[in-house]
Amino acid sequence: MIKLVAQAKLPTEFGVFDIHIFKNSIGCGEPVVLTMGDFLTGKSILCRVHSECMTGEVFHSIKCDCHAQLMLAMKKIAKIKQGIIIYLRQEGRGIGLVNKIKAYRLEDLGYDTVDANLELGLPVDNRQYDLAIKILQYFGIKQINLMTNNPDKISAFNRSKIKVIKRVPVEIKPSRLNKNYLQTKKRRLGHLLKNV
């Protein structure tokens, strides 16, 4: 399902990671993986499985918490000098960039993030984690401390051969502009958020 095609050192503001690019046979973009440290310890590895968000990560939109979550994950891994970030090309909870911006337009008109997708005839959350599971297996990782607020993500890994030993929250302080979005994720998608 996956094949490593490129890798290099990646110096960042948080520290030096190794970056790995994979090709995959199911055609949903090229997963990007950042790693730091040794995974041959047999211990559970700090892990963030992160879905692409061009609006947040490239253009620094504060409509969502994606950029802040990614930065927090990098900081946490750099602090302990061990971990993995699997960056999946699943823009807009898997609906793609075009549909995501169409959903944004509906949100401008008063729909929440769930109803906007439904109004477009799209799934509320179309993300898959099979690639992330294969990537963890590629690196020989069997146990993870998963950085997530999403119980569906935990369930996906618990159904696989990867064991989630602990959930590590990646909760971001809400702002005036993303508070409703975060409240919707908590209320309608069951995200484990305390501060909204």
Q: What pLDDT score was predicted for residue 177?
A: 83
pTM of the model: 0.92
151 domain residue, yes or no: yes
Can you give the residue range of the structural domain that contains 14?
2-90+127-189
Domains of the chain: total:
1
Phi, psi dihedrals of residue 64, rounded to the nearest 5°:
-130, 180
DSSP 48-103: EEEE--HHHHTS--SSSSHHHHHHHHHHHHHHHT-EEEEEE--HHHHT-HHHHHHH
146/47 Cα distance (integer angstroms): 5
Question: pLDDT tens, 104-132?
Answer: 999 999 999 899 999 999 989 888 898 99
120 domain residue, yes or no: no
Q: Any idea what the CATH number is for the domain that residue 158 is in?
A: 3.40.50.10990
Side chain identity, residue 167: R
Residues involved in catalysis: 125, 127
Question: pLDDT tens, 1-38?
Answer: 789 999 999 999 999 999 999 998 776 789 999 999 98
